[in-house]
Amino acid sequence: MPGFDLAAVLGNPAFRALIVAGVEITLAIFVCSWLLGMSLALVLMVIRLTPSRFGERFVAAYVSYHRNVPTLVQLMLWYFGISTLFPDSAQEWFSDHNGEAIFAIIALGLCQAAFFSEDLRSGLRGVAGGQSEAARALGHSYVGSMRYVILPQAVRNAIPALVNHTVSLFKNSSLAMAIGVAELTHVAREVESRSFRTFEVYAVATVLYLVVSLLLMAVGAALSRHYRLAAAR
- Does position 197 interact with another protein (CB under 8 A)? The reply is no
Residues 29-68 that bind another protein (CB under 8 A): 64-65, 67-68
Among 28, 36, 128, 146, binds another protein (CB under 8 A): 128
Count of residues engaged in binding another protein, rule: CB under 8 A: 71
- How near is the Cβ of 52 to another protein at its closest, in Å? 19
- Does position 102 interact with another protein (CB under 8 A)? The reply is no
For 117-166, give the DSSP string: HHHHHHHHHTS-THHHHHHHHTT--HHHHIIIIIHHHHHHHHHHHHHHHH
The one segment of 13-21, 40-48, 49-57, 128-136 that binds another protein by CB under 8 A:
128-136
- Does position 222 interact with another protein (CB under 8 A)? The reply is no
Among 8, 91, 213, 223, binds another protein (CB under 8 A): 213
Contact 68, 108 (CB under 8 A): no
- How near is the Cβ of 14 to another protein at its closest, in Å? 21
Residues 132-171 that bind another protein (CB under 8 A): 133-142, 144, 148-149, 152-153, 156, 160-161, 164-165, 167-168, 171
- Does position 107 interact with another protein (CB under 8 A)? The reply is no
Instruction: Give the type of residue at 193.
Output: S
Nearer residue to another protein within complex by CB, 16 or 136: 136
For the chain, give the DSSP string: -PPP-HHHHHTSHHHHHHHHHHHHHHHHHHHHHHHHHHHHHHHHHHHHHSS-HHHHHHHHHHHHHHHHS-HHHHHHIIIIIGGGGS-HHHHHHHHHTTHHHHHHHHHHHHHHHHHHHHHHHHHHHTS-THHHHHHHHTT--HHHHIIIIIHHHHHHHHHHHHHHHHHHHHHHGGGGGGGT---HHHHHHHHHHHH--HHHHHHHHHHHHHHHHHHHHHHHHHHHHHT------
- Does position 101 interact with another protein (CB under 8 A)? The reply is no
The one segment of 7-15, 32-40, 100-108, 198-206 that binds another protein by CB under 8 A:
198-206
Among 7, 17, 35, 70, binds another protein (CB under 8 A): 70
Among 39, 95, 122, 193, binds another protein (CB under 8 A): 122
- How near is the Cβ of 131 to another protein at its closest, in Å? 6
